[in-house]
Amino acid sequence: MRQALATYLHISGIEASYGYFAPNVPGSYKLVFELHYRDGRLEYELPSVSNAAVAFRIAGLLDNIGRTRSDALREHLVKMMAQSIWREHPDVETIRAIFGSISLPSVRDFEHGKRESYEFLYAYDFSLENEPPKPNDH
């Protein structure tokens, strides 16, 4: 329940107070949406952002998704983000959401040519066929 409440507060933009001033710098997680069309096309999308503040919010949300221990909560949060992709691409048949962590090299390793590494953590497949019926608007 605490994790769900903390996630809701974070998503809605409500700041929880700190005992001292410290910025909440999110970790490094990445979410990629694999869009599958009926005609066999395949496209990739990242969560879209309109400005730096939104980008920071999404990074924080991804950090919370990555740290949550609840599989059901994690899947629900990823599904909410997938639904926003569906609104932008209504002709998509299925969406696979691929979630992973990114490890950045140290400064020294970077100077020697080492780049970020990616570790796959979770994948979720969503389709409109699995959605519950929407209530009729009257």
Rounded CA-CA distance 79/77 in Å is: 5
Three-state DSSP class for residue 17? coil
Q: Please, what is the average pLDDT of the chain?
A: 80
- Tens of pLDDT, residue by residue over 115-133, are 888 899 999 999 976 554 4
Q: Looking at the chain, list the stretches that DSSP marks H as alpha helix, in order from N- to C-terminal side.
A: 2-12, 52-67, 71-88, 107-111
**Residue 110: which region, alpha, beta or left (left: phi > 0; alpha: psi -120 to 50)?**
alpha
- Tens of pLDDT, residue by residue over 27-48, are 589 999 999 999 999 999 998 8
Residues in the chain: 138
**Whole-structure pTM value:** 0.69
